[in-house]
Amino acid sequence: MVYDVIMNKIINTTQPIEVEWHQLDLRYQSLRIHTTSAVQRLMLSIHSYGLLVPITVVSSGIQECPWVVIDGYLRILALKALGHDLIAATVWKIDAAEALLGAYKHNKSRSWEAFEEANLLQELITTHQYSQAKLSQILGKSEAWVCHRLQLISELPCFVKEAIYQGILSSWVANRILIPFARANSQHAEQFVRYLRAKSHTSREIQSFYEQYLRSNKKIRGELAANPSVFFKIEELDKLESSGQYTELPPEHSWDRKCEQILDCLKVLDSIMPAVFYPQQTAQEQKDLQNKFHQARAKMDNLQRSLEVTTHAQTTYSRPSEAIAASG
């Protein structure tokens, strides 16, 4: 009922205008997630077809910056990047709170993620003094739904919120992985988010990393948080080998990747050695653990001898032709 009243106001009071950038108040920009890829796709669309849907604004009541943007922040970013000076807007002659609710229910171009819904609810409660019960009634949702959405952002560390807003983390990864990760060790979770800013991974890959983190002891957890790339490199190699794609790669590539894998494994062994060998161990326990290392060392020694023989044979084989070329 309340929502119907808001929509009737919108329908009966809309007004199309053109505005300049300095006239826009962007106070609600942080309510929505703005990824670089989404902006780039929108830039291509605007470049080809123009701006199909104007942004939505309401009056701010301030002469210097008269229009508060309610909806269309992706379009603003795309138009700025394309160098446009003016932007088409539709004025809703209602207050900002009603406009935010109207934009949420009326928006068909881009669905709202759970994190965005939580931001909207928090804004309406904190700034516009709506109660959870009132929002539940207006949106046609249960009070439990409203409460759950608000809990999503109340439990998120600031570095996770920022990563979600920038499109680095999905809401699913943030809630299913990063919240429990931060509870377990906030410093390690923050290190991992910093890594994800530079390297993109799927939700499944991030979940696999976190599961490995949980299975590991304290020392290994520190190594995983400090160098997540080691884990993902090994995972990539395992996938290639299990799928049979690895055999299709050139032998030089396989040699390099295997050597990298060995180096990564040696780094891990070096880091966990103090946790593996400790004074309370029996001599037999230490001997059993060392046997595997000695077997690996023997294999490396054999490989080194084979490498020396192979490279020496190739050098010797090439000398007659070199001598002939020199005498000619």
| pLDDT tens column, 217-241 | 998 999 999 999 988 888 887 776 6
Cα dihedral sign, 15-21-23-29: positive
> In 14-42, which positions are buried (b, 16+ CB within 10 angstroms) versus exposed (e)?
eeeeebeeebbbeebeebbbeeeeebeeb
pLDDT digits (tens, 9 = 90+) for 8-33: 655 556 678 899 999 999 999 989 88
What is the tens place of the pLDDT at every residue in 70-103? 999 999 999 999 999 999 999 998 999 999 999 9
Bigger pLDDT: 20 vs 322: 20
**Higher confidence at residue 34 or residue 197?**
197
More confident position, 120 or 11: 120
- What percentage of the chain has pLDDT greater than the value 70? 85
Mean pLDDT of the chain: 84
In contact, 19 and 59? CB cutoff 8 Å: no
Mean pLDDT of 274-294: 79
pLDDT band of 127, cuts 50, 70, 90? very high
Burial class (CB in 10 A: 0-12, 13-18, 19+), 113: middle
- Polymer length of the chain: 328
> Could you tell me the pLDDT band of residue 326, with boundaries at 50, 70 and 90?
very low
Lowest mean pLDDT among 131-140, 152-161, 276-285: 276-285
Average pLDDT (286-299) is 87
Domain covering 1-110 assigned CATH 3.30.2130.30 in the classification: no
Please state, in angstroms and rounded to a whole number, the distance separating the CA atoms of residues 220 and 213.
8
Instruction: Report the pLDDT averaged over residues 53-77.
Output: 93
CA angle 170, 174, 178 (to 5 degrees): 140
165-to-33, 99, 292, 324 alpha-carbon distances in Å: 5, 22, 48, 69
At 3 the pLDDT is: 55
What is residue 7's predicted lDDT score, i.e. its pLDDT? 57
Picking from 221-225, 238-242, 246-250, 295-299, which range would have the lowest pLDDT averaged per residue? 246-250
